[in-house]
Amino acid sequence: MLSARSLFQEIVDDDASFQLFCSIAASGEAQGGWENARIAALVPESMRDMAPKITRHGADEDKHGRIFHALLRKRGLPAVPVPPETDYTMLLERRGIGLAHTKLRADEPLSEQDIVVYLAHSRVTEQRAADQMDMLVRDFGEHPELGRAIRMISNDETNHLAYCHEELLRLARAGHGRTIQRVLRESALAEIAVYRDVSLAVMDHMGRILKWPRPKAAVLAAGIRAVHGYERFAGWHRMVSLAMPERRDALGGPAATAPEFA
């Protein structure tokens, strides 16, 4: 029987598929770390109080990248190039979601609206990350090789999502409500399409590495498209709602280190 647990177990058990999985994850986390560091450096003067939290967010993402590289080193595996069709962050940028990298590479301060766009985009992508890590913790939280790393990353992603909710609610009260709702909707609809495409591409690569039979690959692809259909019809609403989180000021302190991995 196909399940998320059995599929991930297959990927983890094979060195080549595990190598690709960790390489893709490490690359995405490193990209997120760079983006947050640049945003923190360019925060407008009127929002400078947010810079430490954005910096903390980026430090967490950098840490996650180091964790995935450490998992590779434990198996004696180098990172491999990330196929472009599996590059989630690059594909989102191409769709105009989030802040353009040309803007982040410049030395001009960002606007308040830029920060609103950044947070709304992050609320959507952090929902995806938190959901994925919740699933991995449920199925692999006690795994002898991966469990500690998965639990640490999952806790961070929950913090990131809480931070986005809290900051967006604060900005909505400050008069940015309409912009927030517009950007949330645009980001969510674009994200679910990119997530579908990336998922199909990753499963295609994994299927070739693991030599999955055509019927199995077809069932997996159909499942991915069915999830996208549900999200496109109704599931995206969950990605745009805002509620005060249980974890308040989730990024208010320094980033936790990961000496056992880094």
At residue 256 the predicted structure's pLDDT band, cuts being 50, 70 and 90, is low
Asked if residue 250 has pLDDT above 50, the reply is yes
d(CA 64, CA 188) in angstroms, rounded, equals 24
- Tokens 């055509």: give the residue: 214
Question: pLDDT for 191-218, tens place per residue?
Answer: 999 999 999 999 999 999 999 999 999 9
Question: pLDDT for 52-107, tens place per residue?
Answer: 999 999 999 999 999 999 999 999 999 999 999 999 999 999 998 889 999 999 98
Give the pLDDT score at 253. 64
Question: pLDDT for 20-50, tens place per residue?
Answer: 999 999 999 999 999 999 999 999 999 999 9
Question: pLDDT for 218-244, tens place per residue?
Answer: 999 999 999 999 999 998 999 999 999
Give the pLDDT score at 254. 62
d(CA 171, CA 238) in angstroms, rounded, equals 20
Asked if residue 261 has pLDDT above 80, the reply is no
Between residues 259 and 138, which one has the greater pLDDT? Answer: 138
At residue 1 the predicted structure's pLDDT band, cuts being 50, 70 and 90, is low
Q: Domains of the chain: which residue ranges?
A: 4-239
Q: Which residues of 231-258 are buried (b: 16+ CB within 10 A; e: fewer)?
A: beeeebeebbebeebeeeebbeeebeeb
Q: Read off the pLDDT of each residue in 138-151 and give the average, rounded to a whole number.
A: 93
Global model pTM greater than 0.85:
yes
Asked if residue 262 has pLDDT above 90, the reply is no
The fold adopted by the segment(s) 4-239 is Ferritin (1.20.1260)
